[in-house]
C-alpha cells in the first residue's frame, strides 16, 4: 500500500509544500489527490519566486498583463499571477474540502513578509487576500511573531482560516494555541473556521547540531540529529493536553475544530540523516505533514509507517531536551533566532521576485 495513504490511516493529513501552474494544468495535482490521498497545499514567497522565475510558463500571462495595463504596480502584477494559481489549486482541492466537511482540502497563501512585525498591516492584508481569492478552502499564512499573534486572534475571530507559520518552540506553540482558543470564544458559531499551527523542524536540527559540534563532547555528539524530533514530540504532547481537555471538549460540542499541528520544513538538510526522517518520526492523529515534492516522492517510494511515532519515547524526548540544557545549550534563543531568520528567508525571495517581475515587464514592454 502507498505509505502516503497509510499516514491517513494514522489520522495524519499529507499536504504538498509546493505550487506551480504546470502542476495544476497538467492534472498532476489532481492525480496526487486521487492516488496519494493529498489533502492540502502550502505555498510561500520562495516557492513562488522559483516557480515564476524558473521557466517561461508564466510569460504569457505577464505579457498580457503588461500589454493591457502598462502602469500596473508590481505588487498587483504579482498578485494577479499568484492568486490565479491559488484559486486554481483551491478548486482542485475543493472536493476534499467538501467531502471532509471543511476539515481538510486547504491551500495556503502567505501575507507579505514585510508585515511580519505589523499587526494592523497583517490584518488588513489578510482580509484583502481572503476576499480577493474568494475560496472557502483558503488559509492565510501569518507568522507567529509577537506582532502576528494578535492578528491571528483577530482574523480567526472574524472567521478567516489561518495557517500560523514560523513556529520553532513550545513557547511559540503555546502563544498560538491560546490565541486560537481566545478567538473561538469570540464567535457565536465556530463551525466554519479552520486553523493549523505550523511547527518547523529541520531548521532546528541544523542550528542545534552546529551548537553541539561547538561543545564537542561525546554527550553532545550523541544528541546530534535528535533535538528537532524531541522538540516536536514535546510540543505535540502540549497540543494533546490543550485539545483533549474538558475545557476544549465544551468548545468542540459547540462546533469548534481542533487546531491541528502541521509539521513544516520536513525536508532533511543533512545527507547523513534519513531523507524521510521528519515524516517517519512525526506521525500522529490530528496532525498534518506538508512535504516538498522530493520528500513526498521519497516517502512514497521507501517510507515506513510503524504507527503513531509522535507518541513513542516521549520521556526520552524530554530527557534529550534536558541533556541539551545541561550541556549549556539554551534552545530558546536558538528558536527565537530561527524565527527571525525565517522572516528574512521569506522576505528575500519576495523582494527578488518583485525585482524579477520588474525586469520581465521592461523586457515585454520593449518587445511591444
Among all residues, which ones are annotated catalytic?
141
Nearest CA to 47 out of 23, 77, 12 is that of 23
d(CA 27, CA 44) in angstroms, rounded, equals 21
- Residue 343 has φ and ψ, to the nearest 5°, of -60, -45
d(CA 280, CA 282) in angstroms, rounded, equals 6
d(CA 350, CA 115) in angstroms, rounded, equals 12
User: What does the block give as the cell for 315?
Assistant: 520521556
User: In the chain, what is the straight-line distance between the N-terminal and C-terminal CA atoms, in Å?
Assistant: 54
Residues in a beta bridge with 285: none
d(CA 5, CA 301) in angstroms, rounded, equals 12
Report helix, strand or coil for 260. Answer: strand
Nearest CA to 285 out of 307, 317, 257, 302 is that of 307
- Asked whether 66 and 367 are in contact (CB, 8 A), the reply is no
What burial class does residue 37 get, using C-beta atoms within 10 Å of its C-beta: 0-12 exposed, 13-18 middle, 19+ buried? middle
Residues in a beta bridge with 168: none
DSSP E strand boundaries for the chain: 12-17, 40-42, 106-110, 138-143, 162-167, 195-200, 260-264, 287-291
Amino acid at each position: 500500500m502507498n505509505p502516503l495513504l497509510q499516514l491517513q490511516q494514522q489520522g495524519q493529513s499529507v499536504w504538498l509544500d509546493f505550487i506551480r501552474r504546470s502542476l495544476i494544468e497538467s492534472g498532476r495535482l489532481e492525480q496526487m489527490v486521487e492516488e496519494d490521498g493529498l489533502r492540502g497545499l502550502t505555498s510561500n514567497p520562495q516557492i513562488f519566486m522559483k516557480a515564476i522565475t524558473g521557466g517561461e510558463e508564466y510569460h504569457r500571462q505577464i505579457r498580457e498583463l503588461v500589454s493591457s495595463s502598462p502602469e500596473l504596480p508590481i505588487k498587483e502584477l504579482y498578485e494577479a499571477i499568484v492568486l490565479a494559481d491559488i484559486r486554481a489549486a483551491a478548486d482542485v482541492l475543493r472536493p476534499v474540502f467538501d467531502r471532509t466537511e471543511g476539515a481538510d482540502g486547504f491551500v495556503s497563501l502567505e501575507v507579505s513578509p514585510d508585515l511580519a512585525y505589523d499587526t494592523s498591516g497583517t490584518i488588513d492584508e489578510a482580509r484583502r487576500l481572503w476576499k480577493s481569492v474568494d475560496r472557502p478552502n483558503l488559509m492565510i499564512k501569518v507568522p507567529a511573531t509577537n506582532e502576528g499573534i494578535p492578528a491571528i486572534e483577530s482574523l480567526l475571530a472574524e472567521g478567516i482560516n489561518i495557517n500560523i507559520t514560523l513556529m520553532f518552540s513550545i513557547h511559540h506553540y503555546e502563544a498560538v494555541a491560546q490565541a486560537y482558543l481566545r478567538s473561538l470564544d469570540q464567535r457565536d458559531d465556530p463551525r466554519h473556521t479552520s486553523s493549523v499551527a505550523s511547527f518547523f523542524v529541520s531548521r532546528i536540527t541544523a542550528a542545534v547540531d552546529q551548537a553541539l559540534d561547538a561543545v564537542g563532547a561525546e554527550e553532545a555528539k550523541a544528541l546530534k540529529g535528535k533535538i528537532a524530533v524531541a522538540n516536536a514530540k514535546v510540543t505535540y504532547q502540549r497540543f494533546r493536553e490543550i485539545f483533549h481537555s474538558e475545557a476544549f471538549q465544551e468548545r468542540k460540542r459547540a462546533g469548534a475544530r481542533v487546531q491541528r499541528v502541521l509539521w513544516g520544513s520536513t525536508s532533511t538538510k543533512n545527507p547523513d540523516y534519513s531523507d524521510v526522517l521528519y515524516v517517519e518520526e512525526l506521525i500522529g492523529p490530528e496532525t498534518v505533514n506538508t512535504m516538498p515534492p522530493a520528500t513526498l516522492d521519497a516517502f512514497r517510494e521507501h517510507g515506513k509507517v510503524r504507527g503513531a511515532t509522535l507518541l513513542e519515547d516521549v520521556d526520552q524526548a524530554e530527557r534529550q531536551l534536558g541533556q541539551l540544557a545541561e550541556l549549556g545549550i539554551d534552545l530558546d534563543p536558538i528558536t527565537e533566532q530561527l524565527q527571525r531568520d525565517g522572516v528574512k528567508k521569506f522576505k528575500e525571495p519576495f523582494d527578488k521576485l518583485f525585482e524579477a517581475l520588474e525586469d520581465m515587464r521592461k523586457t515585454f514592454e520593449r518587445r511591444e
